[in-house]
Amino acid sequence: MSSSKEKPKDQQPKSAFSRRSWLQGAGVSGSVLTTGLLAEDAQAQTVANVMSGEVEITLDINGKKRSVKVEPRVTLLDALRNRLDMTGAKRVCDRGTCGACTVIVGGKVMYGCSVLAVDVVGKPIQTIEGLAPEGQLHPISKAFVNHDAQQCGYCTPGFIMATKGFLDRNPNPTVEQIDKGLSGNLCRCGTYMGMKAAVLEAAKEIKNG
Partner 1 sequence: MDNFEYANPSTVKEALSLLTAGAEVLAGGTDLLSLLKDEVHKPKRLVNIKNIKALGGISKAGNNIRIGATVTLDELASSQLIRAAYPSLVQAALGITSPQIRNMGTVAGDLCQRPRCWYFRSGNGLLNKSLVENGENKYHAIFGTGSAQFVSASSLGPALMALGATVKIAGADGKTKDVPVAQFFKAPSAEGEREIALAANEIVTDILVPAPATKNATYEVRHKQALDWPLATASVALRMSGTKVTSASITLGHVGPTPVRATEAEKMLVGQTITADSAEKAGAAAVAGAKPLSQNAYKVQLAKVAVKRALLTAAGVKAV
Binding positions for partner 1, rule: CB under 8 A = 1, 5, 9-10, 12, 28-31, 47, 49-53, 71-73, 75, 94-97, 99, 102, 108-111, 113-116, 118-119, 162, 165-166, 179, 181, 183-186
Close Cβ partners of 113 (under 8 Å, ≥ 6 residues apart) = 75, 76, 77, 91, 93, 94, 95, 96, 101
Least Cβ distance, residue 116 to partner 1 (angstroms): 7
**CB closer to partner 1, 94 vs 129:** 94
3-state class (DSSP) for residue 105:
strand
**CB closer to partner 1, 6 vs 134:** 6
Least Cβ distance, residue 48 to partner 1 (angstroms): 10
**CB closer to partner 1, 144 vs 166:** 166
**CB closer to partner 1, 79 vs 110:** 110
Round to whole Å and give the CA distance between 77 and 60: 14
**CB closer to partner 1, 76 vs 86:** 76
Least Cβ distance, residue 64 to partner 1 (angstroms): 23
Least Cβ distance, residue 171 to partner 1 (angstroms): 16
Close Cβ partners of 139 (under 8 Å, ≥ 6 residues apart) = 202, 205, 206
Question: Of the candidates 208, 97, 199, 71, which has an alpha carbon nearest to the alpha carbon of residue 141?
Answer: 199
Least Cβ distance, residue 181 to partner 1 (angstroms): 6
Segment holding 145, helix H or strand E: helix 139-146
Give yes or no for a contact between 60 and 67, defined as CB atoms under 8 angstroms apart: no
Round to whole Å and give the CA distance between 22 and 28: 10
